[in-house]
Amino acid sequence: MILVMNHRAGDDEIEAVIIRLEKLGFQIHLSRGVERTIIGAIGDKGHLIELDLEAMPGVEKVVPILRPYKLASRTFHEEGTVIRVGNLEIGGETVHVMAGPCAVESREQLLSAARIVKEAGATILRGGAYKPRTSPYSFQGLEEEGLELLAEARAATGLLIVTEVMDAKTLPVVAQYADILQIGARNMQNFFLLREVAKIDKPVVLKRGPSATIEEWLMAAEYIMSGGNYNVILCERGIRSFETYTRNTLDLTSVPVVKHLSHLPVIVDPSHAIGKWRFVTPMARAAIAAGADGLMIEVHPNPIEALCDGPQSLTPENFAGMMADLRRMVEVTGRKMP
């Protein structure tokens, strides 16, 4: 960590900072320039105390040197992580598509969706049983009944199940049914929930929060990993910007950036990011071209009748078309589809 002292910082202030740093176990390198004095502090725990030091008189700014995450960092784990779930590998050679409706609405809807996505080549079924909705007056999900329907769809099709867990209270029941747990974007910094999910022995899809930097996203992964669950799949799903034509701004550059900074697999959810079905297929293609390990796509047997997110759901025909497109794209990138 480096501390830049104010240009008017007195010797006593500089000394106070040094004493404090040495107490904390840092080695000190002092550089006195004409305009500024700079204090380099080398040690293990830099990230724990950076912020406090800006409160000391004479300190202008504190510049962290090491990234604040370790377990999620590629620096400490050079090879990419491959997560095994059922007989699938996520983060390996094969690109997986998780698809299905926004919300589980009924037995008929879910089983129909499951068959459609299975036939087109998806390997994992998505569907929300507990739904975080902006309005208290919107459909909030079938809850445990929805989980049971997901299990039934799994039994019928062989697809694995990914579904969102919204809070610690319902985590046990969700974990009982799901193959992969999903932390929604709005819960990315629900640290209590992250700590609870860390104790479960199931992979976790961690969606990027709409106002989260890539570093904060990796810090959220660090929460889960530091609690003992190393099977974190990162999912880019758009950040909030001033552009309103799309629901969010899909930050596809985060895919190669995450691959550079971290060893964790990363997938992309273009449906939620964009909010309009028409643009889902080209951006799914682009996600693969950017290096994503998988996709999460909303598909509904009949989007017009959807209780949730109809406008962004692909019809069965559009989904089949997208999958054919992707197959060619995946090959070109040297990977495979199942």
Binders of a copy of itself in range 176-215 (CB under 8 A): 186-187, 189-193, 195, 209-211, 213-215
Residues that contact a copy of itself, how many (by CB under 8 A): 106
For a copy of itself, give the closer residue by CB, 88 or 110: 110
Of 105, 222, 236, 269, which lies in the binding site for a copy of itself, with binding defined by CB under 8 A? 222
Check residue 283 for interaction with a copy of itself (CB under 8 A).
Answer: yes
Q: Which of 19, 48, 156, 324 binds a copy of itself (CB under 8 A)?
A: 48
- CB closer to a copy of itself out of 86 and 140: 140
Work out which of 12, 15, 22, 52 binds a copy of itself, going by CB under 8 A.
Answer: 52
Residues numbered 55-74 forming contacts with a copy of itself, rule: CB under 8 A: 55-56, 63, 65-66, 68
95 is written with which tokens? 């690109």
Contact positions with a copy of itself (CB under 8 A) in 300-319? 303-307, 309-311, 313
Supply 280's token pair.
């889902």
Separation between Cα atoms, residue 64 and residue 286, nearest integer Å? 34
> What are the structure tokens assigned to 98, written together?
């998780």
- In whole angstroms, how close is the CB of 148 to a copy of itself at the nearest point? 20
Each residue 245-264 as x (binds a copy of itself by CB under 8 A) or -, in order, gives xx--xxxxxxxxx--x----
For a copy of itself, give the closer residue by CB, 11 or 136: 136
Q: Tell me: does residue 175 bind a copy of itself (CB under 8 A).
A: no
Instruction: Find out whether 208 and 236 touch, Cβ atoms under 8 Å.
Output: yes
CB of 128 to a copy of itself, least distance (A): 12
Residue of 9, 290, 322, 323 interacting with a copy of itself (CB under 8 A):
290
Q: Which stretch binds a copy of itself (CB under 8 A): 30-38, 88-96, 115-123, 144-152?
A: 30-38
Which of 277, 293, 294, 298: binder of a copy of itself (CB under 8 A)? 277
- The interface with a copy of itself within residues 114-173 (CB under 8 A) comprises 130, 132-138, 140, 166-170
